[in-house]
A and B are shown apart, each in its own frame.
Chain A
């Protein structure tokens, strides 16, 4: 059996599928099914596609009759509700509307009052969700599945590969990673964790043979104004980007859970995040604004690579 790799672009990220398959034909069959599943999820949950379910949900905002949702979407909403509850209101899929004020491509900060004007549209507690019926009561409200659907997709693709008979492989959707199973000899996959200030270099490597890994960081999209970084992760309560942690990586039984935990830790920031993660009992790695590593997955000090030079190119704004 041979390890085969397929690279492609899906959900706005570079993706890789690593599979130990008996034959190239078998590999292609599975890879095709995996891509089809990703395409399905993207068509359904992308807010950039006008005919997606996500767009239809958002178009229903303000309609007192609301919209009826299918089983899969209902379970995703239930999950979002749980995450909102467990994070004390920090993980909130209604907060996407704040991006109207925060244009990370523009290079400018929101005008005064812009955020306050949007705040009535933010808050999971404002929506009326009684499975399978959803009402977004105020026109302009939005649900954003982008914060967790890629992690869910990684889990789905891994499960799909297992269903199709593969037992050794890895799904990597732009850093949201789910293991199908270890290498055929039982050894785990080595997953490299990127350094937030040098996204092409790995700063640590984590062993993974089951479950998933996800990373949230301020490098994916951010705004630098007067030397201050504004990350794309917005606190739904203040409407402002969080600061303190540069990135958080979490390993869990599912990529989805890992992603939720890392997002919540980022939102909790440098003070609350690390302690919250440790109490959660999930293996994790934090990198703070100064580039210092901590957490159970951090490599021992002497094996750490030298921190990148201060003048290393910053991730371009809007990158």
Chain B
């Protein structure tokens, strides 16, 4: 070996040793950082709330598919596939000033399939569903722009949006506020919303029962209170009131009244109240969080409903999260609802829509999330599957005649989120 080659090898060895030492050193910085982050309060600029200094972009694709109704529940000749919806959701949020950020939400859906039309008595006396004749194909695009202003102990937000469909147009706006009290242990929030909708049903020539043009307005208001209970537990209670006014019927549905199909016809006023309470608890020994939500609902069509939802957020190996959840829902029927009517009603109100019928629903969901860093960006990818089953027998109360059109569906969803 020449002297030059020896020198070269020596140099290469010392370079390698330097690199190794450097790597060890980086590890010791990582160790110190981990130790510092374990100290109370030092884990990053703690503030889930507050204006984010990063631009966020989220995308989510979901496929919603309703199960085909069993042939025992469908009138002969209308056994068509039910609704499928493909849904693309985008969200883009960025700070535009010191205390101000804006977010844009875009939703685009394409729907196709048949939907329940009206209900007739079956051979054995049990009601059966008649589905719409043609497959409905539609698209919906929804845009929502929201601005938020952050003060030291308060937040204010304003939003405006539109939603387009071939036969439907809605424009909506909202105002919201949030106030931190009691060293941020208590948060008061409230908001107002309005939506002005116009409905222009298709194919009115073939279906003379459908109206040509209708309108409705919805006004809502909510008041919420969040309270930190302990270092690892918090709860929130929100009361929401909504007033619906105008055409609140479904133009594509009918009801069978003394053997004759009539247009779905509901009151033109509806007062709705929902009281949602949520509880969050973190178990550090298991590196998991528990979510429990309960909602009580009442409206002046005399529907009461209860929703229970439980979720477990299990964190695994630093970057993974597994989230199983279950939901139970039960509702009573609207005053004027019937599967079909043997007698005409004095008030002229008729609806056989399963949404106004008494039933219960059980759904479960499993979701997996993983975090990773690529191209110097932080990413969060998720996958979830939900199955929703509804039935008269799942209701809290006894249901003698369940609506045959009750829906079961699967929902698959994939999402990708990044911050830069």
Question: Which A residues form the contact surface with B (CB < 8 A)?
Answer: 21-22, 26, 71-72, 75-76, 78-79, 82-83, 85-86, 152, 155-156, 159-160, 162-167, 181, 184, 253-254, 256-257, 260-261, 276, 279-282
Contact = CB atoms under 8 A, between A and B. Distances in A.
Contact of A85 (B31, B34, B180): B31
Given A165-B152, A165-B153, A280 B29 contact: yes
Contacts of B36: 79, 155, 253-254, 256-257
B38 interface: yes
A282 B39 CA distance: 21
B152 A166 contact: yes
Interface in B278-313: none
B41 A78 contact: no
B203 interface: no
B96 interface: no
B35 A22 contact: no
B45 interface: yes
Given A83-B35, A162-B47, A282-B29, A71 B42 contact: no
B401 interface: no
Interface stretch (B20-28, B381-389, B410-418): B20-28
B151 interface: yes
Interface in B123-165: 151-153
Contacts of A71: 40
Q: Is the interface of A mostly helix, strand, loop or mixed?
A: helix
B3 interface: no
Contact of B38 (A22, A79, A184): A79
Contacts, number: 90
Q: Most chain-B Cβ atoms within 10 A of its Cβ — which of A21, A156, A167, A256? A: A167
A79 B32 CA distance: 7
Interface residues of B, number: 27
B45 A75 contact: no
A159 B46 CA distance: 7
B50 interface: yes
A256 B42 CA distance: 10
5 contacts: A72-B40, A85-B31, A162-B47, A167-B50, A254-B36
A162 B46 contact: yes
Contacts of A279: 21-22, 25-26
A280 B41 contact: no
Q: Most chain-B Cβ atoms within 10 A of its Cβ — which of A21, A72, A162? A: A162
B411 to A, nearest CB: 38
Contact of A253 (B26, B31, B33, B98): B33
A308 B33 CA distance: 37
A-B complex: 10 closest residue pairs judged by Cβ atoms: A165-B152, A279-B25, A86-B28, A79-B35, A82-B35, A159-B41, A75-B39, A254-B36, A279-B22, A75-B38
B25 A276 contact: yes
A82 to B, nearest CB: 4
A254 B42 contact: yes
Interface of B: 21-22, 25-26, 28-29, 31-36, 38-42, 45-47, 50, 98, 151-153, 180, 184
Contacts of B22: 279, 281
Contact of A76 (B31, B32, B39, B152): B39
A164 B180 CA distance: 10
Given A75-B38, A165-B50, A159 B31 contact: no
Given A75-B39, A163-B46, A86 B31 contact: yes
A77 to B, nearest CB: 10
A75 B38 CA distance: 6
A197 B46 CA distance: 39
Q: Most chain-B Cβ atoms within 10 A of its Cβ — which of A21, A86, A184? A: A86
Given A155-B42, A160-B41, A281-B29, A165 B21 contact: no
A152 B39 CA distance: 9
Given A21-B152, A165-B180, A281-B22, 17 more contacts: A22-B151, A26-B152, A71-B40, A75-B40, A78-B38, A82-B32, A82-B34, A86-B28, A152-B42, A156-B40, A162-B47, A254-B36, A256-B42, A257-B29, A276-B25, A280-B25, A281-B29
Contacts of A152: 39, 42
A71 B25 CA distance: 28
A22 B45 CA distance: 20
Contacts of B50: 165, 167
A167 B46 CA distance: 11
Nearest to A151: B36
A257 B98 CA distance: 29
A186 B57 CA distance: 23
Contacts of B47: 162-163
A34 B4 CA distance: 64
A170 B93 CA distance: 28
Nearest to B30: A86
Nearest to A165: B152
Contacts of A79: 32, 35-36, 38-39
Contacts of A78: 35, 38
B33 A257 contact: yes
Contact of A281 (B26, B34, B98, B180): B26
A117 to B, nearest CB: 32
Contacts of B31: 82, 85-86
B2 to A, nearest CB: 31
Nearest to A80: B35
Contacts of A282: 29
A276 B47 CA distance: 34
Contacts of A167: 50, 98
Contacts of A276: 25
Contacts of A156: 40-42
Given A165-B152, A280-B25, A281-B25, A86 B39 contact: no
Nearest to A181: B45
Contacts of B34: 82
A29 to B, nearest CB: 9
A22 B32 CA distance: 36
A71 B39 CA distance: 9
Contacts of B41: 155-156, 159-160, 163
Q: Most chain-A Cβ atoms within 10 A of its Cβ — which of B40, B50, B184? A: B40
B152 A164 contact: yes
Q: Most chain-A Cβ atoms within 10 A of its Cβ — which of B22, B34, B45? A: B45
A295 to B, nearest CB: 15
A66 B26 CA distance: 35
A254 B98 CA distance: 23
A166 B98 CA distance: 12
A40 B356 CA distance: 60
Nearest to A29: B152
Contacts of A165: 50, 151-153, 180
